[in-house]
Each structure stands twice: as structure tokens, then as C-alpha cells.
Amino acid sequence: MATLGELERALMERLWSAPEPVAATTLRDELAERDVALTTVHTVLTRLQHKGFVVHDEGRPRRFRPRASREDHAAELMHEVLGQSADRQAVLARFVGSVNPDEARLLRELLAAADDAAPR
């Protein structure tokens, strides 16, 4: 049983790799191995639209495409989650912030000095 999150990811993969907008029935057929009902495909597409990741045209049947390419999505993600505009509080738990090259060299030296002091 696939979770909605997994289905969202699978659908986005299809939409990203498709050369042109895709209808929901096509997506259902492509996901046949997951045994997904058409209503489920529509549910997932609606969720993705609400989140602003998918748009559809006004044709009949409606055809869906990603709002941004995979590359743009990744760039947007890095910018929003870790970038300068990022809400510091939301990503407080980043492991290490970036440091400038001088600082990085200094850190390297600290580590090397400790290794010399206590060789293993």
C-alpha cells in the first residue's frame, strides 16, 4: 500500500519526465504496477495543485504539467530551505552553517593539530 507521499513523488516523477502535459488517465496507466485507482490519481493531483507544484490546462480531458522543472524545483528548494531568504528559525537544525574559506582552513588546521597530538 503506497502512502500519499510516495504517490505524490511518483506522479511528480512522471510529470517531470513527460515531454508534454499528461492526462490523469495516462498517469493511472503508467502507474498500473502500483494498482492505483483513477480517483486516487485525481486526489493526489489535487493535493499537488494545492501545494502549487502542478498546474492543468483547460482542455478536455484536463492535462497536467509541473509548474517548475525538476531543476527549478531543486533550486527553489535550496534557496528557500537553506538560502539567505530562509527563515532561520525553520531551519535552525542545519548541521553546520557555511563558513568562508579562511575559516575553513583554520578548522582544517585545528583538526590536523589534534590528529598530530593524538595519533591513532
Partner 1 sequence: MLPASAASLAVLAVLLAWPVPALLARAGWTRRDPLVALVCWQAIGLAGGLSMIAALLVHGLAPWGHSLPEAAWALVTGHLAGDPVRGDHWVALILAVVLATELLGVLVLSGVRTARTRRRHRALLELVVQPSAELPDTRLLEHPAPVAFCIPGARPLLVLSSGMVAELDEAQLAAVVAHERAHLSEHHHLLLLPFVAWEAALPVLPAAARAHVAVRDLVEMRADDVALRSLADGTGGTAPRRTLAQAIVAAAEGTGGVAVPGGALAVAGSAVRARVVRLLEPPSPLPAAARWTALAAAGLLLALPTALLVLPAV
Q: Which residues bind partner 1 (CB under 8 A)?
A: 5, 8-9, 12, 51, 53, 70, 73-74, 76-84, 87-101, 103-104, 106-108, 110-111, 114-115, 120
Asked whether 15 and 65 are in contact (CB, 8 A), the reply is yes
Alpha carbon separation from 118 to 25, 81, 106, 111 (Å, rounded): 64, 38, 19, 11
Q: Which is nearer to partner 1, 38 or 91 (CB)?
A: 91
Q: Which is nearer to partner 1, 9 or 62 (CB)?
A: 9
Q: Which is nearer to partner 1, 36 or 54 (CB)?
A: 54
Q: Tell me how far, at minimum, the Cβ of 60 lies from partner 1, in Å.
A: 27
**Residue 64 CB coordination number (10 Å):** 23
Q: Tell me how far, at minimum, the Cβ of 89 lies from partner 1, in Å.
A: 5
Q: Tell me how far, at minimum, the Cβ of 69 lies from partner 1, in Å.
A: 12
The DSSP secondary structure of 24-52, one letter per residue, reads: HHHHHHHTGGGT--HHHHHHHHHHHHHTT
